[in-house]
A and B are shown apart, each in its own frame.
Chain A
Amino acid sequence: MSTKVVMEALSPTMEEGRLVKWTKAVGDAVKAGETLAEVETDKAVMELVARADGQLLQQAVKEGDTVPVGDVVGYIGAPGETVAASGAAAPAVSVQPSAVSAQPAAVRPQPAAVSQQPSAVATGPVAVADATRVKASPLARRIARETGVDLRLLHGSGPGGRVVRKDLEGAAAVPVPRPSSPVPVAVSGAAYEDVPLTQIRKTIAKRLATSLGPVPHFFLTSEVDMERAAEAREALNRQLGDQGKEKISFNDIILKAVALALTRHRACNAWWQDDHIRFWNEVHLGMAVAVEDGLITPVLRDADRRPLSEIGAVARELAQRARERRLKPEEYTGSTFSVSNLGMFDIDQFTAVINPPEAGIVAVGAIVPKPVVVDGEVTVRRRVRLTMSCDHRVIDGATGAAFLRTLKQMLENPLAMLL
């Protein structure tokens, strides 16, 4: 009986792999654990190893072919043995049938229900699940599922590195809200209404309490003239409109300006890491998005390197999926700095709470026309107030002020962004 060699999930996110090179030829003796082939995953080139002893009977895919995880790439068996007729096209793979037969035969006393249980669970790359398995208590798994925490990013404090509930309490996790949650409804006559905390609300509470309390905040505010940015935006949008493309918003311009300003003020693009400070060379901007029962901060990766039009598209797409709660964990973790905008709520100015371990966040108010003195004359200009919250352990007053000044200059003179 030959054993199938299947494309294994060699990274947690891998869905397919390109077989770069066979390291065993047909007819070669192989032992379980020996490398059969090199496979390029979405992240790296990895080794595909034999799961059985014997001889490589067949290479079912050519070098360079890309194969979905779970598909057969070859067969191992006894010398001279022929491969079962099902061939290379067999869709998925079976793991050892004995693993399947370990299913409990009887479950509960309902005999009818039991007899309807499928007796075998033969599809799906079960074996690979172990390779990426995170040891976590069932409760920790449930909380992680409900709050959207990626268990792989955590260090478990339980026996053998098991992730337990307490490890999730301090996790750098941003919740994925559940589709429905109790919304407080005013009940006439009642002095108050007690509404239980949802998981997302609990997480927000915990996370923000670990911010304002332990993080020594200070705040810097600057009013920025947006008139030239507005002119630039109108010009750009005319052009984009002619090309049938999506228009850019003030927020896109602010995101882009913040990202560029950060590249010039690395001191503000940093994480507080208790015993060290990590200064980032990449700029990943968290953008706070209000969702039905909380907020979530999707990450605009490499914001400094993306063109303005792309920032707009990506930001809208992320925000949309955030509201639909369809973000993947890696799409809301790993930001280096954040921006929060409440301009649409007609808030002139506010202070935002830092999202640890980041060291700063910029709070954007509404853009409002104001009488200002320009060149000795009172005139009406569109103005916005930006407030930066800084973690004083990372950013000093002057450091923050310098960053904010650069940001102001870029917005007031969009051409400066090109410098």
Chain B
Amino acid sequence: MTTATAQPQQQSPADAALQRRMLREMLLIRRFEEKAAEAYALGKIGGFCHLYIGQEAVAVGVSAALTPADYVISSYREHGQALVRGISARAVMAELFGKATGCSGGKGDSMHLFDAEKRFMGGHGIVGGHLPLAAGLAFAIKYRGGDQVCVCFFGEAAVNIGAFHEAVNMASVWKLPVIFLCENNRYGMGTAFERVAAVTDVVEHACSYDIAGEVVNGMDVLDVHQAARRAIQRARKGGHPTLLEVRTYRFMGHSMSDPLHGVYRTKDEVEEQKRKDPIHQLSHRMLQAGTIDQAGIDALDAEVHAEVGDAVKFADESPDPAPEELLRHVVVD
């Protein structure tokens, strides 16, 4: 086991272009989620809708370390991962709107975004249920002798579920190229992790299953990126799984129908965390390093604003799925 907390960046391996790209992706997710919240309030989006605001650095930092052939699979808070995996804002927003042009044809929803071509193997709605699927994707990679990896995003609450332990155990026994990436945002819906978990440092479970583990600062995209690169390299080289505990925080409620704060966390706590906003941290660092100026940041923001605005317009104007879609794809004909 190689549990290691990442050291502060002495020298960024990411060049200015990569940082600029990551800043843009984080801004895209932030603006997308803000628009999604607005559309939800207007009744354009129904059902469950879990926003990623505050956690952008995790998806962006990891994604920048992946190749197009690698697999990503996630839970139900996956808009951000889907966007940075390359699914267009249009296709994701249209899916939230339940439209035929959505990335799952309007039959998935916010929790079930899919793009097989982009190797985005879904959002999944049962807590922990997709961890075995991630191990299975890695099993298929190894079976065919491929060098891809599978990154599996899940929340800390999934660690209490049997599927986590079964999947991590088998991934370790069979040396599967999978990265179990726990986004520890400290609350499973409205329950603080320490209230329901005997071991509150998720990374310690790596020890139980004899795999690599690291704790990562999820509010720092560069930190996430470095840790992801290490884990991905381990998996690619010899099929060694890693458990990354990425400590992050959601600025919104659990879902659109839940309060931002209240009985389970204080407003002060949320405000305190917002001061660590990952977008602000990166832009501040870039401004300091002189790799971008405020006008450049504003231009990026305007660009993603336009992209998201276009996505909403596209989703709004797209048709509903045809009635015959109801019975289509139940089985392969």
Chain A residues at the B interface, C-beta cutoff of 8 Å: 109, 111-112
Contacts and interface: CB of A to CB of B under 8 A. Distances in A.
5 contacts: A109-B327, A111-B323, A111-B326, A111-B327, A112-B323
Contacts, number: 5
A116 to B, nearest CB: 12
Nearest to B326: A111
A111 B322 CA distance: 12
A73 to B, nearest CB: 46
Interface string B290-333: 00000000000000000000000000000000010011000000
Contacts of B326: 111
Contacts of A109: 327
Nearest to B323: A112
Nearest to A112: B323
Contacts of A112: 323
A109 B323 CA distance: 12
B136 to A, nearest CB: 31
Interface residues of B, number: 3
A240 B327 CA distance: 73
A108 to B, nearest CB: 11
A66 B61 CA distance: 88
A35 B323 CA distance: 54
A109 B324 CA distance: 11
Contacts of B323: 111-112
Nearest to B327: A109
B333 to A, nearest CB: 14
A112 B324 CA distance: 9
Q: Which 5 A-B pairs have the closest CB atoms?
A: A111-B326, A109-B327, A112-B323, A111-B323, A111-B327
Interface in B133-185: none
B331 to A, nearest CB: 12
A109 B330 CA distance: 12
A111 B326 CA distance: 8
A115 to B, nearest CB: 9
Contacts of B327: 109, 111
Nearest to B330: A109
A109 B327 CA distance: 8
A222 to B, nearest CB: 76
Nearest to A111: B326
A112 B323 CA distance: 8
Nearest to A115: B323
Nearest to A109: B327
Contacts of A111: 323, 326-327
A114 to B, nearest CB: 11
